[in-house]
Amino acid sequence: MLKDDFKNLLKQVQADIKSNMTKDDWLALEKKYLGRKGELNKLMDSLKTLAVEEKREVGKLANAVKLELENFFHKQKSIFNPVDENKTFDLTLPGEKYNIGHLHPITQIQEELEEIFASMGFIVEDGPEVESEYYNFDALNIPAHHPARDMQDTFFTAEGNVLRTHTSSVQVRAMEKYGTPLRCIVPGKVFRNEATDASHDHTFYQLEGLMIDKNISITNLIAVMKELLRGIFKQEVTVRLRPGFFPFVEPGFELDIKCLICRGNGCSVCKQSGWLELLPCGLIHPNVLRAGGIDPAEWSGFAFGLGLTRLVMMRYGIEDIRLLFGNDLRFLKQF
Ligand code: DAH
């Protein structure tokens, strides 16, 4: 019966398969069964002789067999032809080049600094960017209504928290977490309610540092700062301290470096002064130590706040802060 002939076709194909068949062998086998004058079409021709009823039933079976054979051969051929045959593959052509990104210049400097400080025994600590008023201001000896808050206007959340205005907010958190002695740096993002111009943005980066131990003095502060500057600028740097006021240090300083461009003779970068203002710092105020649960009679320490964004601008001579945050690849690719 024709019906059985169709069913047998599948068995016949199986019987015809030999081991180690080449691609050509498969093509020949496919032609034998599925070719224009192949076995399947021969049987299809005989469908005509059947009565209408029978034709419908056997026809259904015939189509199923045809589909199965087609799938079977397609699969076999794809083993030999994993790629589209119409596409020619030229092994000698140069490959497609992938663009691999790199770290943002601020992140690069941050990682360099982390390494320099790690070599001096500092841990790298993190803190929340949405911060309580307490850690951002009160704990740092800046009570409510103190005029120092005016200099650091920021964004408040509905719950009364602030977007931290400086990484100093992590000082007391670190003291509470680690106690004494303590050496720690805190790189991170900070926020101010600032109108944007060439040197200001509402978001920028700082790196806070603090060291607390017995008998820490300004000498230790200067030594660590010089080590930091030597590491970053890869040369000996001359520094000077000027008095500066920050409620959380006493005494407080502005640390300037002798201009690296003109070596102190005066140029446009240092505005003809020969010095660059780089690092505010000082000895940690006793009130701040107390807020961190540390006895100022027994321990002392220094703290500093490095403007990471400013440092990057200084190192590469970038004149507009907006370039750094513009996500413009033409700019970023230079680093
Ligand atoms: N937090 C200060 C600011 O953002 C910078 C600063 C000054 C940090 C003196 C310090 C410091 O640790 O001792 O303006």
For ligand 1, atom 4, the nearest C-alpha belongs to 166
For ligand 1, atom 7, the nearest C-alpha belongs to 280
* Confidence at residue 236, expressed as pLDDT on a 0 to 100 scale: 84
How many separate helices (H) and strands (E) can be counted in the chain?
A: 12, 9
* Confidence at residue 255, expressed as pLDDT on a 0 to 100 scale: 94
List the one residue out of 263, 273, 270, 208 whose CA is nearest residue 236.
Answer: 263
Reading the chain (335 residues) residue by residue, the pLDDT tens digits are: 888 888 898 889 888 888 888 888 888 999 999 999 999 999 888 888 888 888 888 889 899 999 999 998 888 877 776 656 566 777 888 888 888 889 999 999 999 999 999 999 999 999 999 999 999 999 999 999 888 888 888 999 999 999 999 999 999 999 999 999 999 999 999 999 988 888 788 999 999 999 999 999 999 999 999 999 999 888 888 999 999 999 999 999 999 988 877 888 988 777 889 898 889 999 999 999 999 999 999 999 999 999 999 888 888 888 888 999 888 999 999 99
Q: Which of 170, 246, 287, 302 to mutate to test the pocket of ligand 1 (most atoms within 8 A of CB)?
A: 246
Beta strands in 44-174 (DSSP E): 123-124, 130-131, 162-163
**Closest ligand 1 atom, residue 165 Cα:** 4
* Confidence at residue 217, expressed as pLDDT on a 0 to 100 scale: 96
For ligand 1, atom 6, the nearest C-alpha belongs to 305
* Confidence at residue 82, expressed as pLDDT on a 0 to 100 scale: 61
Strands 300-307 and 203-213: antiparallel
CB atoms within 10 A of CB 300: 19
Pocket of ligand 1 from Cβ distances under 6 Å: 166, 168, 208, 246, 249, 280-282, 303-305
- CATH 3.30.930.10 for the 105-332 domain, yes or no: yes
What does the domain layout of the chain look like in residue ranges?
Answer: 2-80, 105-332
Distance 246 CA to ligand 1 centre (A): 7
CB 225 within 8 A of CB 239: yes
CB 72 within 8 A of CB 57: no
For ligand 1, atom 13, the nearest C-alpha belongs to 281
